[in-house]
Structure 1
Amino acid sequence: MLSVNAGPLALGMSQFLLIVSFILALLVGWWSGRRSACNPEPQLFRLLLVGLLVARVSFVVRYFDLYRESPWSMLDLRDGGFLAVPGLLAGLALGLWQAWRGARLRRPLGLGLLAGVLFWSSGHLILQALERSSRLPVQALVDLNGRPVQLADYRGRPLVINLWATWCPPCRREMPVLAEAQQREPGVTFLFVNQGEGARTVRDYLTSQGLWLDNVLLDSGSRLGAQVGSGMLPTTLFYDAEGQQRGSHLGELSRASLAHALQRIAPDQSTVPKRP
């Protein structure tokens, strides 16, 4: 499962796991500090914000060349560009400092932080294990000319599968990024699997936007999204040459977040655009 749906709201599993971990940290901190009337809620919020900030800044620094041409995109968190390890270490360091400064805070803050980090870490490891055990789905699709296509036909090279629709604003925004990557990365196969629309609608949209894409496929029943466990668009899946899933991204991709994801399946490929 890649996403959790609650009515019209859909959250990626990584975001859902972070929210649940933080709520658990708040509850454990409140429970352990109730007798001393010491609730570490403000400190835990501060740790979360600092951790997220450091995780974002670390990602931007790592892929600064891809943000340089559009500096405001550094503030656009919709691309999901975060590096978890620097953020986690920064949060832990701040937590230790806060506990050192306030003796009354040590027990509730320490227990709350420990509960949240352990839950997040174990959940993250489980999600990674489940993801890496996933194989390329057995799914029959059709191309824009109505010819049947099997996903298994594309095994043998690193593979990116983008689930999208013409009515989806983030899908439309990220499409030029994927189109550019398809031209730049000849060693990686990109599949654009439209969800629930017909060939004419897709053709008209691509023509109107001046997008020339290879491997545009149709999933009229939107079965592939359900099969991989995603209720969100866009969803992008990353497979190695053997058809084993190595990553996924729910929501809009930026050039930086796409380059980061491609490193998992094609580390020897040049994922950073060459400058003239």
Structure 2
Amino acid sequence: MIGIGPFPVQTITVIVAVLLAWVSARIMARRLPDVFYKAAGSMILDALFWGLLASRLAYIAQWWDEYAVAPMSMIAIGDGGFTWWVGVVVAIAYIWRRTRLVRGLRRPVLAGVMAGVVVWAVAGGVLDSMQRSAPPLPDLRLATLDGRPISLSTYAGRPIVLNLWATWCPPCRREMPVFEKAQTEFPDIAFVLVNQGESAQQALAYLKTEGLDLTDVLLDPASEAMRSMNSRGLPTTLFFDAKGRLVDSHLGEITMPSLKDKVLRRFIPSTK
């Protein structure tokens, strides 16, 4: 997984794009009176707030059936659930309205927004290419809950959603029911949950206590999967296509809308 320290590189990209938009707007507004020059930067931040809010609400509306089942997941913005094009449209509309009486401010602020959007889009394309060129699914030697040796290559030939987890990890525990439901909704996809650093007794006790019926839970006592896949923390969810290529990843707790969104976009195109 690509990242800087504990932060996914996608988060860093968004921050850089916002900073570039803010700086660009202020630089282009230098020729305006001082009060307007300062307003350019603050307007970018206001537009960002309304754009993010609109894009989140649009995403919730798109996946309303899933969010309605677990309403608290609506505030779990870490799942990356945003309809970005809606946010961009709302941000531009907000700026257009705010500058209707100060037309001179409109151009530098909109130019700043466009600069940020272009950088974000280009960086997203580059990151997607880098992710697709990442090493394929490793042929790790793991074990089933009853102690039988098994290799990840056993799942070759079909899409794989690989989740790294542990019983001591609260976000891992919260997302377990999501994978239980997903394995039923998408039977042609292998949802493989690889426990990191714990014994079969610990994993089994947790699954029994929670009443979870997960079909592919494997053991990785040495946490080899985290090292080989450059995971920076738990939980980590990795999406491999039928050829074993990494096509997406998610660090942290994943919600059902986010999981279904990634599965449909990466494995079942044109379904949603």
The TM-score, its normalising length taken from structure 2, stands at: 0.87
- Counterpart of 1:59 in structure 2 is 59
- Counterpart of 1:229 in structure 2 is 230
SS at match of 1:137: coil
1:183 Cα deviation (Å)? 2.7
- Counterpart of 1:274 in structure 2 is none
SS at match of 2:116: helix
- Counterpart of 2:127 in structure 1 is 127
- How far apart, in 2, do the equivalents of 1:42 and 1:213 lie? 49
1:91 Cα deviation (Å)? 2.3
Residue 37 of structure 2 is aligned to residue 33 of structure 1: no
- How far apart, in 2, do the equivalents of 1:270 and 1:227 lie? 32
SS at match of 1:82: coil
- How far apart, in 2, do the equivalents of 1:71 and 1:215 lie? 28
Deviations 1:140-161 (A, max 9, x none): 1312344433222211112110
- Counterpart of 1:91 in structure 2 is 91
Larger displacement relative to structure 2 (96-105 or 112-121): 96-105
- How far apart, in 1, do the equivalents of 2:101 and 2:76 lie? 35
Amino acid across the alignment from 1:30: R
What is the aligned length?
267
- Counterpart of 1:50 in structure 2 is 50
- How far apart, in 1, do the equivalents of 2:227 and 2:31 lie? 48
Unmatched runs of 5 consecutive residues or more in structure 2? none
Unmatched runs of 5 consecutive residues or more in structure 1? 272-276
% identical equivalent positions = 37
| 2:142/2:152 contact within 8 Å kept | no
- How far apart, in 2, do the equivalents of 1:45 and 1:201 lie? 47
- How far apart, in 2, do the equivalents of 1:250 and 1:241 lie? 22
Counting only pairs closer than 5 Å after superposition, residues 109-258 of structure 1 correspond to structure 2 as 109-143=109-143, 144-258=145-259
CA RMSD of aligned residues (A): 2.5
SS at match of 1:161: strand
- Counterpart of 2:18 in structure 1 is 22
Amino acid across the alignment from 1:51: G
1:222 Cα deviation (Å)? 2.8
1:189 Cα deviation (Å)? 0.7
- How far apart, in 2, do the equivalents of 1:46 and 1:20 lie? 17
- How far apart, in 2, do the equivalents of 1:141 and 1:270 lie? 34
1:97 Cα deviation (Å)? 4.3
- How far apart, in 2, do the equivalents of 1:214 and 1:198 lie? 18
Deviations 1:216-239 (A, max 9, x none): 122333332343333132111112
SS at match of 1:68: helix
Deviations 1:102-134 (A, max 9, x none): 234235323422331121111111111122233
The TM-score, its normalising length taken from structure 1, stands at: 0.85
